[in-house]
Structure 1
Amino acid sequence: MAVPPLQPQADNKYITNMFSCVLLVVILLLPNIVASQTIINNLPGYSGGLPFKLETGYVGVGELDDVQLFYYFVESERSPKDDPLVLWLTGGPGCSAFSGLVYEIGPLSFDYTNSSRSSPTFKLNPYSWTKVANIIFLDAPVGTGFSYANSWEGYSMTDTLSAAQTYTFLRKWLIAHPTFLRNPLYIAGDSYSGIVVPIIVQKISDANEDGRKPAMNLQGYVLGDPTTVPHDDYNSRISFAHRKTLISDELYESIKTNCNGEYINVDPNNTACINDLNAVTKCIKKIYPANILEPVCSLLSPKPVGSKWEQSLGDDSVDLLLTAPQISKPWCRSYNYLFSYIWANNQTVRDALGIREGSIREWTRCNASLSYTDNIFSTLNFHRNLIKKGYRMLIYSGDQDMIIPYVGTHAWIKSLNLTVSDDWEPWFVDGQVAGYTMEYNYKKSRLRYAIVKGGGHTAPEYKPKECFAMVDRWFAYYPL
């Protein structure tokens, strides 16, 4: 017996149902692209509704989306459809993007005068970069801030893997936010992000050249106080200390001779060099390396010296401060960071941000326990390649930063052998010298280097007004 053909009505219904099923499968196979966005209208610690658009969410990357990267997205307060889109990465590796959002370039900052240890409060930052740009603040790599993995294997990370996952994040985020595909795109970050940002930019550039969709409107990148060649960056601390009169002429001449210009990988049998390095450590032990105009926190434990002198300029810590019954004098910048720990570990805050329950235990501003392996020891070749592509680059350094001194940063920029288009000159804010700057070019590419007077590690935390003026002018193609 022959089977009668399907009726047209049934055929159409079958196709419609099949299409709906396929669409459902597609949506289910793209977790964290659409389903995990949360618009935040109110935040604990800020009185009233937020006067800017804040979105938070997760995007899955890695095999089977094992890694869940958390982000804060703030739309430009000027013109979201016209202003640049910036992906911001804080350094570390392992420092949360919240640090960049609240302590550096975001629309909120803690109101220290009106905050208590139990109740941190916010105020608006008049120098937020979101006044002129849309900014995605990303907690990367996994294990940073609120980003997490579903398996222990997912936490094993390297420079190249971190860059690859961040590139995937951005691609998925733009698919979910297609209205921003036409905005000029810049990848930005500071400190250790100087390693991963050029790799991400290279991946985007290569994908665009290969015709991968969606195409990204990449225009360039921004790096503040960046790690570039770690050995050379750290090695330049000696010449920086001498230029800033932290060590004497006699000690500087002695250490140059005895160490032969090598202050990191020191021969343990070279007693004269080690003695000189110990003398340098003695000279700077009371100075905060992130800004040499401030004192080091008295609650910090001493770190190894000698042949491992570079480790003595490590990150700040608030572990003892969190348990201290009373803040001791003199004031230390680390005290400011206490509020982020208290705020981000509050359950009401986590609920407001849409943090997934059980995803992480304790939030830390900078996670020092990452399972992270450095596998890129210089990004110079990435810069050399990208400078040929016609992109714009803004590199800036705080002149009081001893963690990544401007001495080393300017040295690697000069090693690119670019043409100087604007030679060394001052730049001004409100009629005062804000720093010094110069510009290099290669065909259509432009690299602007700026020194921020009084800036530390990193510059916007110490000189927000000047850094906002710098980036506002640069985005607008104006001279600094």
Structure 2
Amino acid sequence: MWSRGNSGRRRNAAVVLFNFMVVVVLQLYCSSMVSVVMAARGSKVDHIPGLQYDGPLPFELETGYIGVGENEEVQVFYYFVKSQTNPTTDPFIFWKVGGPGCSALFAIIQEIGPISMEVVKYTGGMPKLKLNPHTWTKVSNMLFIDLPARAGFTYATTKKANVSSNMKESEQAYEFMRKWFNDHPEYLTNPFYVGGDSFSGLTVPIITKMIADGNEAGTKPLINLKGYILGNPASSLNNVHEYRIPAAYGMNLIPTDLYKSLEKNCKGNYDHFSNELCAQDMGKFDQLTRGINPTHILEDFCIRVGTGSDGLRRSLSQRPVLPPGEFCWQMFWYLRSDLWANNVAVQDALHVRKGTIGRWCACNYTDIGYTADMTDALPYHANLTTRGLRALIYSGDHDLIVPTMSTEAWITSLNYSTVDSWRPWAAHDGIIAGFTRSYSNNMTFATLKGSGHIAPFFSAYECLIMFERWISGQKL
């Protein structure tokens, strides 16, 4: 999963790390850019195919496109869900998923959006959806986007525009926001937050700083920026890799003698082997953790089929879907989302422009030329927190993709004093949901006990409680 070559290869491996969902599955479904048929910029969604709910939607959803870049060659697809409480005054969250190249539908359907997949055996036809009782749209407006080009339903009108990077993607996101608010000025006074997870731990701080800089420069429209939110964030790729071995040891996946030998022989550099003893130790580590699901060490790492697309499809389709906690959620999400999002009735309902993409896929790693041109966002965090902006950083503590201790380490490196010491926090009835600490720079760090990558997928209720308290200014 992680390259061990020269420095250039290690930089590319920074992106590969977050391609934790099996790339082979995705390659079955993604295809190249096709012809373009333009449609209206933003439209209300009146119904959602497959949703098991009678009557009109209990939430307001708008989808559409906004062009960004030179000659608007990247057409960014968005989903805007109004707050179900008071959209005129409730906070406004702009959400960017990770990958890079993953669709916003993962956040909408599987994490914090108003709908979710029903975990039932598939018997054919339209996959079933249900209302999500733990959606963040209960208390906030949510604007989700597909970015960069070729992620989700976002497309480019030129081949050159399919190439992206951290900085380019962030610039496009900021341009998108300014244009969106020009079309929706009624939300400019709402408290505004930028949010994201996983690989967006790099882009969200950049986007937030661009907004802050734009506001100071008087760039219109002025956005009422209040802070940012990051879940299981890869804000420092070197830090993430450095703590993977200690995290595995802390989770009792490797024995003490191997951990001590790794420390001695690799000296913290687990990406580029400086000697043969380090290479031997890393070989033992890889062998011991090969069957561990890095997204959640307690979950089955079920996609173990061999090569060959036909055999892969058959193996996945024949595997039964079991109740939560007993089924392979990666397989479940990929198969169901693929069936749902590629259904013509679904794309019509969402107002997707016909002929703009090939086959939708959950995470597109095949058609995007992406460069990690910024692998450490810590200077951005330091800059933002000196401006009085609030920050919520949360992490599932069974995540081996972005270990909790790696996130805690870079937060600690910012050298801010503690105003609320490390303590447990409870979601309800005194039951511990995780641990938290707050800092003098308006940053709150919270863990989700027993959760993985990404936390709301595994701990939806607890994450909603955490978000509700933090966004309203309460202590966890």
- Return the TM-score normalized by structure 2: 0.87
In structure 2, what residue type is equivalent to 1:259? Answer: C
Specify the alignment match of 2:278 in structure 1.
Answer: 273
SS in structure 2 at match of 1:92: coil
Q: Does 1:262 align with 2:269?
A: yes
In structure 1, what residue type is equivalent to 2:292? Answer: I
Specify the alignment match of 1:397 in structure 2.
Answer: 395
Q: 1:213 aligns with which of 211, 215, 220?
A: 220
Pair 1:34–1:324, CA change in 2 (3 A): closer
Specify the alignment match of 1:92 in structure 2.
Answer: 99
Pair 1:39–1:205, CA change in 2 (3 A): same
Specify the alignment match of 1:74 in structure 2.
Answer: 81
Larger radius of gyration: 1
Specify the alignment match of 1:465 in structure 2.
Answer: 461
SS in structure 1 at match of 2:318: coil
Whole-angstrom distance in 2 between the partners of 1:358 and 1:400 = 41
Whole-angstrom distance in 2 between the partners of 1:247 and 1:34 = 55
Specify the alignment match of 1:355 in structure 2.
Answer: 352
Deviations 1:53-80 (A, max 9, x none): 0000000000111100001110000110
The farther-off stretch of 281-290 and 459-468 is 281-290
Q: Does 1:327 align with 2:319?
A: yes
1:424-435 matched pairs, under 5 angstroms: 424-431=422-429, 432-435=431-434
The farther-off stretch of 278-287 and 176-185 is 278-287
Deviations 1:137-179 (A, max 9, x none): 1101111000000010111111100000000001100110111
Deviations 1:426-473 (A, max 9, x none): 00012200000000013xxx0000011011001000000000000000
Pair 1:180–1:300, CA change in 2 (3 A): farther
Deviations 1:191-225 (A, max 9, x none): 00001000000000001001111110000000000
Whole-angstrom distance in 2 between the partners of 1:433 and 1:471 = 16
Pair 1:96–1:396, CA change in 2 (3 A): same
Deviation at 1:321, TM superposition (A): 4.3
Extract unaligned runs of 5+ from structure 1.
1-31, 303-316
1:153-172 matched pairs, under 5 angstroms: 153-172=160-179
Specify the alignment match of 2:375 in structure 1.
Answer: 377
- The answer as to whether partners of 1:114 and 1:121 remain within 8 angstroms in 2 is no
- The answer as to whether partners of 2:42 and 2:65 remain within 8 angstroms in 1 is yes
Whole-angstrom distance in 2 between the partners of 1:409 and 1:117 = 42
In structure 2, what residue type is equivalent to 1:359? Answer: T
In structure 1, what residue type is equivalent to 2:411? Answer: I
Q: Which structure is higher in RCO with an 8 Å CA cutoff and minimum separation 6?
A: 2
Specify the alignment match of 1:343 in structure 2.
Answer: 340
Whole-angstrom distance in 2 between the partners of 1:197 and 1:334 = 25
Deviation at 1:41, TM superposition (A): 1.2
In structure 2, what residue type is equivalent to 1:190? Answer: D
Specify the alignment match of 1:478 in structure 2.
Answer: 474
Whole-angstrom distance in 2 between the partners of 1:169 and 1:453 = 36
SS in structure 1 at match of 2:93: strand
Whole-angstrom distance in 2 between the partners of 1:256 and 1:390 = 39
Whole-angstrom distance in 2 between the partners of 1:429 and 1:186 = 23
Pair 1:300–1:223, CA change in 2 (3 A): farther
Extract unaligned runs of 5+ from structure 2.
1-36
Specify the alignment match of 1:103 in structure 2.
Answer: 110
Specify the alignment match of 1:288 in structure 2.
Answer: 293
SS in structure 2 at match of 1:478: coil
SS in structure 1 at match of 2:59: coil
Once superposed, which parts of structure 1, at least 4 consecutive aligned residues long, lie more than 3 Å away?
32-35, 114-118, 321-325, 328-331
Specify the alignment match of 2:190 in structure 1.
Answer: 183
Percent identity over paired residues: 41
Whole-angstrom distance in 2 between the partners of 1:319 and 1:454 = 34
- The answer as to whether partners of 2:121 and 2:320 remain within 8 angstroms in 1 is no
SS in structure 2 at match of 1:105: coil
- The answer as to whether partners of 1:94 and 1:367 remain within 8 angstroms in 2 is yes
Deviation at 1:319, TM superposition (A): 9.4
Whole-angstrom distance in 1 between the partners of 2:206 and 2:351 = 30
Specify the alignment match of 1:83 in structure 2.
Answer: 90
In structure 1, what residue type is equivalent to 2:85? Answer: R
Q: Does 1:227 align with 2:234?
A: yes
Whole-angstrom distance in 2 between the partners of 1:448 and 1:34 = 42
Deviations 1:212-258 (A, max 9, x none): 11110000000000011112112211000011101111110011101
1:29-44 matched pairs, under 5 angstroms: 35-44=40-49
Specify the alignment match of 2:251 in structure 1.
Answer: 244
Specify the alignment match of 2:208 in structure 1.
Answer: 201
In structure 1, what residue type is equivalent to 2:213? Answer: D
- The answer as to whether partners of 2:305 and 2:315 remain within 8 angstroms in 1 is no
Q: Does 1:143 align with 2:150?
A: yes
